[in-house]
Amino acid sequence: MRILIKLLAFMVLIFSAFVLYDRQDMRTPVAFEALERINPIPKTQELIHTKKLAQAEEYLTFFMHFDYMKNNQEAKELLQTIQEKRASLGYRTNTIMKGIWTGKSDEMEGMISAGVSDFFLFGDLRDLTIEGYHHLKGEEVDKVLVALSSIGVVASGATLASAGASSPIKGSISFLKYAKKSAALPTWLSKYLIKISKNKNFKNIKPLFHHISSLVKGAGVGGGLKLLRDTKGLDSLKDTVAFAKIYGKNSATLVTIVGKDVIKYQKSLSKKAFLLAATYGKAGVKRLGKLGEKGFLKSLVKPIKTSRIVKLFDKNSAHIIKQIPDKVFYVLGLLALLIVI
């Protein structure tokens, strides 16, 4: 009889421990919380409000390549509205004229027109005249703009042209001037350009212009501005150019989504996985870096925890057990343990 009692007590002990363990396991959060994909519509509307239509279209288009946004009617209508506005004759004419006369624009047509004016010497002479006027009035002179315009004037002549083809150089100068006017030129580069202009050692600047040309070719003018702004030196610029060559026109959008450290995060990661992770924001990219591609994709599957009680017992029995408080099983388990011992 004593053995039978101990056996029953042991079974009660095991059952109580099982129920308590199951409940604790169900309360424990999964290893990785579910990631939430970015809804690009609010950010796109914000860019439209600040009249950055090119950036708004670029940003929204990135997300439209993924299934969760591809058929979103609100996003489709918003993208169409942006495209129609940017394609209108009045809007395009305005951006072109703004680029020619001010050297500034938020649109590609304006950026190109600003570049064309620099390429034909008009832009360089325009900027030198403006800065000369500031000097005569005793106002602050933009030394970087003067340096770039001076290099541009030289590049239009035989001195720099004889050292190599001048077209990429002129294009790089135009881009850097645009970057300066857009507050996208980093401090280290401003100092470097002023030093080169003072020393008249223009041959040494060709590698820099090569990197700038590659940056613009990869990321585009608008994207190149965003990427250039965060560089810390020549080595940083080289890494940025490599990033732009891989991700192309998506480069600037990735910076917007992930932040300045995007170049550091993407190293050694596959392009396809990185782009997917970016739709989950910085948290997604960090998780990808931590788990690797296979682990990341596995973590995206939302885990569903099912109680072991439900699996072992019928629905009614499981429901009854669920209503019993934890403390009852603690007491039963303790009493059973005392009997077993």
CA–CA gap between residue 106 and residue 82 (Å, rounded): 14
9 domain residue, yes or no: no
CB contact set of 151 (below 8 Å; sequence gap of 6+): 160, 173, 193, 196, 197, 202, 205
pLDDT at residue 302 is higher than 80: no
Q: Are residues 182 and 295 in the same domain?
A: no
Nearest to 281 by CA among 38, 102, 107: 38
The DSSP element (H or E) to which 117 belongs, if any, is: helix 108-119
Tokens of residue 265, six digits: 């995060």
Specify the range with the lowest mean pLDDT, choosing from 8-12, 160-164, 242-246: 160-164
**Bigger pLDDT: 280 or 159?**
280
Nearest to 18 by CA among 230, 336, 241, 271: 336
Instruction: Label residue 159 by pLDDT band (50, 70, 90).
Output: very low
Q: Are residues 130 and 255 in the same domain?
A: yes
CB contact set of 82 (below 8 Å; sequence gap of 6+): 44, 48, 53, 56, 57, 60
Residue 59 burial class via C-beta count within 10 angstroms: exposed 0-12, middle 13-18, buried 19 and up: buried
**Bigger pLDDT: 169 or 30?**
169
Residue 81 burial class via C-beta count within 10 angstroms: exposed 0-12, middle 13-18, buried 19 and up: middle
Sign (positive or negative) of CA dihedral 176, 177, 183, 187: positive
Q: Are residues 48 and 120 in the same domain?
A: no
Q: Are residues 253 and 300 in the same domain?
A: no
Task: Residue 208: give the domain boundaries.
Answer: 102-262
pLDDT at residue 245 is higher than 80: yes
192 domain residue, yes or no: yes
CA–CA gap between residue 160 and residue 20 (Å, rounded): 81
pLDDT at residue 217 is higher than 80: yes
pLDDT at residue 3 is higher than 90: no
pLDDT of residue 73: 95
Q: Are residues 46 and 126 in the same domain?
A: no
pLDDT of residue 117: 56
pLDDT tens for 37-95 read 999 999 999 999 988 888 899 999 999 999 999 999 999 999 999 999 888 887 777 77
Q: Are residues 165 and 218 in the same domain?
A: yes
Q: Are residues 147 and 68 in the same domain?
A: no
Q: Are residues 110 and 215 in the same domain?
A: yes
Neighbours of 20 (CB within 10 A): 14
217 domain residue, yes or no: yes
Q: Are residues 290 and 309 in the same domain?
A: yes
Q: Are residues 199 and 277 in the same domain?
A: no
130 domain residue, yes or no: yes
Separation in Å, CA 285 to CA 258, 293, 302: 8, 10, 18
Specify the range with the lowest mean pLDDT, choosing from 80-94, 103-117, 124-138, 232-246: 103-117
278 domain residue, yes or no: yes
pLDDT tens for 223-234 read 899 999 999 999
The whole-number average pLDDT for the span 308-329 is 75
- Domain total in the chain: 3
Q: Are residues 215 and 112 in the same domain?
A: yes
